[in-house]
Amino acid sequence: MGRQVAIVSAGYSEHASKRSDVSMPELVNEAIEDCLAKVPSVELKDIDAFVNGNMPAFEGSNIPELWMTDWMGARNKPLMRVTTGGTTGGSVAISGYYTVTAGIPGIDTVLAIAFEQQSQGDTSVGLASVAYGEISILNSLGISYDQLNRLLSAGAAIGVAAYQATTYMSKANITEEDLARVVVQNRRNAAKTWWAHLKMPDLTIADVLDTPYVQYPLRYGMVCPASDGAVAMLFTTEEKAKDMCDIPVYVNGVASVANETAVLGYDGSGSAQLDPSEQLGAMKSADLAYSQAGISFPRKEIDYAEVYAPFPNQELMWVEKLGLFEETTAPEMYETGVTAHKGELPVNCSGGVNSTNAIAASAMERPSEAALQIMGKASNQVPKTVHTSIGSGWGGSLNLITLMAMSDEPKRKWK
Amino acid sequence: MSKQTQRKSMDYVKKEYKRTRTMPANWYLSSYEYKFNITHMQPFLKKLKEKKLVANKCSGCNRVFFPPRLVCGKCLVKPDRWVDIRDTARVATYAIAYLKDENSEVQEKPMVLVHHDGADTSSIAELAPGVDVKDTYISMPIKAHWKDNPEGGLMDIEYYDLMDDDAEDLNESK
């Protein structure tokens, strides 16, 4: 039986499209300093182990965790690197949780760090390794290279997301205006968050609809930016957490569920998901995490949600699939302000991935922001008292979903 | 499916993996041949030359894969039965990409996932030239348009023609 785990602090570096003023280790160090500043009794020497992660090949340097060992304070201490593509952050947070709950002698306090400096590397080089495999597969089916429009969905997440958007829009019977409304809420929230990237306090729906299409039905104004940034989270045991901070946040449920491939499928043989917005993986992960955390009525019991949504249609989709709203009712909730900052169930008050996307870090910013909202230390703190919150993550071509359910009471149910 | 059958079918995959197709590739240090398995789709490519469509079926979960798969993603065994499928299909979902050509003019590249009648998967395809993709809707009926001289590749289906939707005028909203 594992130990109850608590989050005591989380910290961010400043996010921008090009952080050329700092190198990668300095960026990570910024986040760690912000994290440790919130818990004055903890120093670097009190941390027993480190978990680290970023999207491989996006930063342009090999094994970056060894380069930044001293900048994290990890010399002569256990260090692990986790990479799972788009959900790296979510997986790093879950690994941090498991490192503590495993009960290894001498390892009580774990620092989890996720970072990305996309301006130093080339993301298309990183994605080429994904795309090349798919190109060769299509070649085996007799599709020639000049038929490039058949390859456009290879690799990048927007190819997957555009299909999800079309299906969701036809299912929920909504227009692009409803998508733009989600973007406006996110970017206005981001303006109140000190570390966010795209801060647009005066954005309107008309402004978003005025931009050209990137991929129908998604417009340039709806798509997430590419940011540089880092995030750090401090995990520890229940006993130690009470000495470290006033309101420790207990991790009650974690889940990580993948589905079959999204568009091209295994060996280029098509997708077995005829409805891309069905997302069985999200429903399964919600089922797992909520049953561990003892949440029976997600809509009533969850006070705050951070969902991983680079594209606005996904935010609508996830809040439904994670059990917060009924099917196809999410657009209505955004219209009536239920999900707004002062609403009944605030969603993505940090601005979400839609405003800040440092690939690996963004999936970890979701649970960390959800934890800070419970502690009352978040940058854009919601007016209502938050007792239970969730933070999710999503990764492109395999639809990998990570989910973490947190509360201010320890009530992990072991199965 | 029993464990014995499972093991047997995995051996089958391993044994046949030698028969591959190669593709030349270049790295700036050297050039090499990239190998990939095509055994599982050989009957399918043969039938394409006769303008016929076949798909394989997993005996574990009874799903029909078009184009054929080497391994079923759910059961992790080789789909071992072949079934006929129709050349009529439906639009599973669609999107449009915007790309610049050589003259740096933005061009619309529509992408459609088609779901063949009788299959359980969807694959990427094109609609007939002259069809505005924004007018399409999900589950619109379409039909494969064959090339004159099929060569045994998925490109033998040049594009998909629109079919008359008899039920469309019965629906008030799409």
Residue B8 has pLDDT above 80, yes or no: no
Q: How many domains does chain B have?
A: 2
CA angle in degrees (0–180, nearest 5) for A148-A150-A153 = 105
Quick check: B27 contacting A, CB < 8 Å? no
Longest dimension (CA), chain A: 65
Same domain for B145 and B99: yes
Lowest-confidence segment of A170-184, A326-340, B30-44 by average pLDDT: B30-44
Same domain for B16 and B78: yes
**B73·A265 Cβ contact <8 A:** yes
Rounded to an integer, the average pLDDT of A47-56 is 91
Q: List the single residue in A with minimal CA-CA distance to B40.
A: A267
- pLDDT (0 to 100) of residue B170: 79
Q: How far is the alpha carbon of A88 from chain B, nearest alpha carbon, in Å?
A: 23
Rounded to an integer, the average pLDDT of B86-104 is 84
* Class of the CATH-defined domain A5-121+225-407: alpha beta
Q: Which residues contact B170 (CB under 8 A, 6 or more apart)?
A: none
Domain boundary among B54, B84, B114: B84
Same domain for B68 and B112: no
Residue A15 has pLDDT above 90, yes or no: yes
DSSP assignment string, B58-113 = -TTT--EESS--SS-TTT-S---EEEE--SEEEEEEEEEEEEE-TT--EEEEEEEE
Same domain for B69 and B19: yes
Residue A415 has pLDDT above 50, yes or no: no
Domain boundary among B84, B116, B135: B84
Rounded to an integer, the average pLDDT of A350-366 is 92
Same domain for B70 and B11: yes
pLDDT 10s digits, A178-194: 999 999 999 999 999 99
pLDDT 10s digits, A241-275: 999 999 999 999 999 998 876 555 555 556 677 78
Residue B55 has pLDDT above 50, yes or no: yes
Domain ranges for chain A = 5-121+225-407
For chain A positions 52-91, those within 8 Å of chain B (CB to CB) are: none
| Cα–Cα distance, A326 to A299 (Å, whole number) | 9
Q: Which of B77, B113, B120 to substitute to test the interface with A, most A CBs within 10 Å?
A: B113
Please name the amino acid found at residue A333. M
Residue A67 has pLDDT above 50, yes or no: yes
Quick check: A163 contacting B, CB < 8 Å? yes
- pLDDT (0 to 100) of residue B26: 66
Nearest CB among A214, A267, A274 relative to B70 is that of A267
Count Cβ atoms within 10 A of the Cβ of residue B94 and give its class: 0-12 exposed, 13-18 middle, 19 or more buried.
Answer: buried
Domain boundary among B15, B50, B84: B84
pTM of the model: 0.86
Give the mean pLDDT of chain A: 87
Residue B105: domain span: 88-170
Compute φ and ψ for B118, nearest 5 degrees: 100, -10
Q: How far is the alpha carbon of A398 from chain B, nearest alpha carbon, in Å?
A: 11
Q: Which of B32, B61, B122 to substitute to test the interface with A, most A CBs within 10 Å?
A: B122
**B96·A267 Cβ contact <8 A:** no
Same domain for B128 and B55: no
pLDDT 10s digits, A28-39: 999 999 999 999
Q: Which residues of chain B have a CB within 8 Å of the CB of A136?
A: 23, 25, 34, 36
Nearest CB among A147, A170, A216 relative to B155 is that of A147
Rounded to an integer, the average pLDDT of A370-381 is 93
The C-alpha R_g of chain B, in whole angstroms, comes to 19
Helices (H) and strands (E) in chain A, counts: 15, 11
Lowest-confidence segment of A145-154, A301-310, B165-174 by average pLDDT: A145-154
Same domain for B126 and B68: no
> How sure is the predictor about B78, in pLDDT bands with cuts at 50, 70 and 90?
confident
